[in-house]
A and B are shown apart, each in its own frame.
Chain A
Amino acid sequence: MNERYSRQELFAPIGSQGQSKLTKKHVLVIGAGALGTGSAEVLVRAGIGKLTIVDRDYVELSNLQRQQLYTEKDAMQRIPKAIAAKERLTLINSEVEVVSHVMDVSVEELEQLVKDVDLIMDATDNFDIRMIINDISQKVQIPWIYGACVGSYGITYTILPGQTPCLNCLLETVPMGGITCDTVGIISPAVQMVVSYQTSEALKILVEDYQSLRKKLVSFDLWKNQHAAINVDKVKNEECLSCGEKRTYPYLTFSNQTKTAVLCGRDTVQIRPPKLADRNLESLAKILSQQEGKVSLNPYLLSFSVGHHRLVIFKDGRVLIHGTKDIAEAKTLYHRYLG
């Protein structure tokens, strides 16, 4: 028995056979924020063969309360999360091959990243990228584990192509959120709980103990002491365009993606959601007014100034991010405040 993994091998459902399977597996973690750092640490300590982790952002002081791989030094030096994560993960377990990319993941990047991958862990913070992950997972037949949290609430579901409903079956429409971790906050235990659910399911998949998978959509609220679990098998939709018989993988096509453009000479990036829709600016103003920034509203648009950036949100859903020419930075701000 390998001493390093002895306690995990003593756990009968894994055993030495499971451990040797783990060492041959490659997991892709998309996002290196709260969920991503949590999942990556569990998987690397467990001794998987290879971990790829990608993120477009850098470490900030406000991350340290819950993003477990980062230090004050990373925040001071604004180290990209993918780089700081890799450094820490390699110190934890040098036997695992850790690959990291500082990258804004969209369709093209993901098509490359999923090569030779056994499992995709969702550690993202928005549904645009999750719908792309969902379509890719169906296209290349790789399972993925949805996980998300905000406040003291968390939710997770394991998606197995060809067996379970996919995220598109479950959602039907992509939620246009108003609450995010940057608007209503997040407590670390909610993150850890989602990570625990996600990584337990991951270990089952990686040791090929499919019988033991949870099969239910789970949510919890650690502050309100609530827990819910629903068997969603019946939600699987044969007409689903992502996983049904006449699948077209709609989120891999250009027209369904969130589009960004740098506005010439204006130090501004425009973000245009795939479907223009009426945004409720009044309720958004209420949420954003609890933030540090300054909110002003007129019948056509909402303006929100924070730091040296200004977000202008139009009723049709378009957003201008002033104060940057960097698309990745603009997207980060967009998802931080608008979900």
Chain B
Amino acid sequence: MTKSAPNTPEIQLDPVELRKARIARNERIGRWLLPIIVIVLTIVGWDLFCVINEVPHYVIPRPGRVLEALIEDWSLLISSLGATLVITFSALTLAIVGGVGLAILFAQSKWVEMSFFPYAIMLQVTPIIVIAPLIFIYVDSKFAGLLICAWIVAFFPILSNTTLGLKSADHNLVDMMKLYGASRWQTLRFLRLPSALPYFLGGLKIAGGLSLIGAIVAEFVAGSGGAGSGLAFRILEASYRLNIPRMFAAILLISFTGILIFMAMSFLSWLFLHKWHESAIKREI
């Protein structure tokens, strides 16, 4: 239970510790500064490339033009993003329910796991792009079809991680539960689920991004337009019309959404783990 003293200048430090402190400070600044510098350089380079080579805007638009498209088509793009996000988060929710539910089922019975785990792997390794057309033939509702596709992509990391986590409960603690006469439900609630939490959250980080990818891929396959169509359709539509700046704007929006989802999942993970789990602990030395 030692609390580290704040780094006040009065403290005498040896050169090695001073160097360590300097490196740590530089790293803290660099973590933010470096990506920003690289992004700015990339944008400037991109702009220069377009100007110097006189690249026409229908091949590669200049960054300013992409920004213009983003502002001009904002209401169109944002409503499409909304549609994509509805699919993404519905699929992620179903993936959590389905993945965790199946994992708990697998943990209860080895026989069930042996029987069904191969199917889960099969669903995962078969590229969604080849199953999606079939799904849209068999399922009438476009929304349901999109949801199924995104779900298939997102649920596996949650299932496999949570299954592993439920099995990794400390064996001595399992024995102790038995000794105190804990029921199956109590063992699950007090021991197996908390043990699986870090694994589940690791799976969730992957599944968050995958559900967005699944939703976009499914929209590409579905391809139909009209009100309430997602960002992937906007990209297809813009490419038919050679509206390249809008394509860039839509892609940019998708990337940012993906980053935001990842950050949200990382924050969630930190929220649940920072008090106790090794992965979230900063070390002194």
A binds B: no
Interface residues of B (CB under 8 A from A): none
Binding site for B on A (CB under 8 A): none
